[in-house]
Structure 1
Amino acid sequence: MTVTPLAAHASDRPVPAFRGRIGRDARSGHYAVPGRYRLHLSTACPDGLRIAVAHSLLGRDTACPVTLLPAVPDSPDGGHSALRSLYEASAHRYTGPAVAPVLSDDWSGRIVSTHAPDIMRDLARRFATGGPSLYPCGAESEIEAVERMCAQGVEQAAQRAGSADGGPADREAALGVLLDALGALERWLVGRTYMIRDDVTAADVELWVALVQLDTVHRNHLDASAVQRIADHPTLWAYARRLTTHPAFGTHLDLGGIERRHHDRCHGLEAAGAAVQILDWAAHAAR
């Protein structure tokens, strides 16, 4: 198998090293057998949080058990020492960090995938039915559009808006992109309970995690005025609060772990917006 070593701390969505898929039947190398596969996740990581929420919504505890990892990776290269043996068994002379998330095959002791979107789709489609349809028929393009908006319009724009490397004009432009995206989401959610259907889908998982990151991570590097403008989307934040009360969402919210992970990875200056919390996530999180 050809792999691409991951750059430590490069981004929250680095190029995945492994892109195996779970197939429909025994004709594929990796086919769906309950108990054969295992997830290795840190819910302090955005991708790990997305997968954990989807896993709970689908009720895949028996079909695909989860091993939880520490919020802060314990290897100097930014990887998890607990995953090192899996990486070394899966790629000859692998030299990159052993990062999460990982979907592994307990039969072979090797990695199937480290690509979060593929893992979520295979969890939803390749095991026995149960739970909501996270990828309903005909909704793939809508879900992908939400994924792009969350990645580019929310998370990347928020990161640029709070970056110490950019000048004031660059930060203001990025803030404009972020506010435009939030405004579009605000208007879309008026009168709706969920993003694209009458029940929760992967689009809701994606947006909820993006909003968690915006308020618990990116807010720390924005000024108070910017945070107040971000908070001025009542429908959007009411939606985030409502999902947080859902057990499949709120029970996985490790606020302390997110904070520790952020401080370990980011050495930027804290801004005034750090003191302006948008949601009291802990108060609403389902337990």
Structure 2
Amino acid sequence: MGEGNAEYGRKKFKRSRSHFADRITADGADGWPVEPGRYRLVVSRACPWASRAVISRRLLGLEDAVSLAVTDPIQDDRSWRFTLDPDDRDPVLGIRFLHEAYDRRERDYPGGVSVPAIVDVPSGKLVTNDFQQITLDLATEWTAHHREGAPDLYPEPLRAEIDEVMEGVYRDVNNGVYRAGFATTQADYEEACRAVFDRLERLAGRLERRRYLVGDTVTEADIRLFTTLVRFDPVYHGHFKCNLWKLAENPVLWAYARDLYQTPGFGDTVDFDHIKRHYYVVHQGINPTQVVPLGPDLSAWLTPHHREQLGGRPFGDGTPPGPVPRGEEVPPSGRP
């Protein structure tokens, strides 16, 4: 995510490819077989790329199969820190910094320490930081351990359409806000910013008469768009200068985002405090004062959206996830 998996400076922003792209699969083809209790998902709630995995894990009911480690939203030069845990150590992995799991896998590797990361608990080694593939594998390779009533987030008949939609969302929205925010020339900024809003307008047109991006249920495409939309007004509008309009000023996307936020598995994973403190404190090149803004007012996230009038069933023939597991709740400081 962000700094750990990107290159920026006096050139166009470029997101690096994941260096560790091993997969955890049902057949164990990469040497990492699906095995409940063996792996730990390390995330920052501030990170949109990691938040995808948190949402997928919760919707699919994989909390007992894949444990969760949440880092401090503020990194230092030693990488993501486990300072939210007693003794500043992850209680399962026993490490203070995520880079320790990376180092156990490969020392002096090229690239930064990014989240999401899946770590093999017995060896303490990083398995993968492939943020694009992790959620797809949770949806398709871990099916034997999905909860009863789990939704199909990547239904096979719709995969080609989902992939096409996600490609545009990734290029122009997920990654586009970063290209705008880290641009170092006026031309690069304007190109990226216009692409963000052009894509958002097209997505709004797509969502005007349909509740979800593909099909009539929540899919991986909705998860990937949501994690950027939920950060848009608190961070990207001001901090990344994506300010042609606010999300709350677009009736379709604002209602769509609120619909998802109020769907179990989405909003109950979002920590607005972590989001704001990470971006405004860590990105000192953009915000050298490290002052974190007070707004925007978050209470509107809980207001009626009326998207149910479009039909659609968030979980298809399935059911909502149960309560957030004890110890994984977002604290009151991060909620509306």
For 1:207 and 1:40, the matched residues in 2 are separated by: 21
Aligned to 1:65: 67
Unaligned runs of 5+ in 2: 82-95, 304-333
Aligned to 2:270: 253
Decide whether the 8 Å contact of 1:8 with 1:78 is kept in 2: no
Match of 2:238, SS? helix
Aligned to 2:172: 153
- After TM superposition, give the deviation of residue 40 of structure 1 in Å: 0.7
For 2:97 and 2:254, the matched residues in 1 are separated by: 36
Match of 1:217, SS? helix
Unaligned runs of 5+ in 1: 1-5
Aligned to 2:307: none
Aligned to 2:220: 202
Aligned length: 276
Once the two structures are aligned, what percentage of the paired residues are identical?
31
Aligned to 1:17: 19
For 1:263 and 1:205, the matched residues in 2 are separated by: 24
Segment of structure 1 superposing worse, 230-239 or 29-38: 230-239
Segment of structure 1 superposing worse, 120-129 or 200-209: 120-129
Q: Does 1:212 align with 2:230?
A: yes
- After TM superposition, give the deviation of residue 138 of structure 1 in Å: 2.7
Match of 2:69, SS? strand
Aligned to 1:3: none
For 1:276 and 1:263, the matched residues in 2 are separated by: 13
Change (3 A) 1:259 1:280: same
Aligned to 1:30: 32
Segment of structure 1 superposing worse, 231-240 or 22-31: 22-31
- After TM superposition, give the deviation of residue 178 of structure 1 in Å: 2.2
Decide whether the 8 Å contact of 1:100 with 1:114 is kept in 2: yes
Change (3 A) 1:30 1:275: closer
Q: Does 1:181 align with 2:180?
A: no
Aligned-residue Cα RMSD (Å) equals 3.1
Letter matched to residue 203 of structure 2: L
For 1:117 and 1:223, the matched residues in 2 are separated by: 25
TM-score by length of 2: 0.71
Please, which of 120, 126, 131 is the counterpart of residue 135 of structure 2?
120
Change (3 A) 1:82 1:182: same
Q: Which structure shows the bigger proportion of residues in helix conformation? A: 1
Aligned to 1:132: 151
Decide whether the 8 Å contact of 1:215 with 1:279 is kept in 2: no
Letter matched to residue 205 of structure 2: R
- Deviation digits for residues 142-163 of structure 1, max 9, x if unmatched? 2222322222222444445556
For 1:222 and 1:31, the matched residues in 2 are separated by: 40
